[in-house]
Amino acid sequence: MLKKGMKVAVLTGAGISAESGIRTFRAEDGLWEEHRLEDVATPQAWNANPEMVWRFYQARRRQLLEVEVNPAHDALAELEEGFGEDFTLITQNVDDLHERAGSKRFIQMHGELRKLRCEECGHVCEAMEPEQLKDDYVPCSNCSNQRLRPHIVWFDEEPFGRWTCEAAVHDCDVFIVVGTSGHVYPANNLLPIARHTGSYCIGVNLDPPLNVDFFHEFHQGKAGELLPGLVKEWLES
110 catalytic residue (yes or no)? yes
Q: What HEC string does 98-116 produce?
A: HHHHCCCCEEECCEEEEEE
Count of all residues that appear for the chain in the document? 237
Any residues with CB less than 8 A from the CB of 79 and at least 6 apart, and which? 8, 10, 87, 231, 234, 235
Residues paired with residue 91 on neighbouring β-strands, in sequence order: 12, 108
Determine which one of 110, 170, 183, 196 is catalytic.
Answer: 110
> b/e string for 87-112 if b means 16 or more Cβ within 10 A?
bbbbbbbbbbbbbbbebeebbbbbbb
Q: What is the dihedral of CA 91, 92, 98, 100, to 10 degrees?
A: 140
- What gap in Å lies between CA 31 and CA 48, rounded to an integer? 19
As annotated, the active-site residues are 110
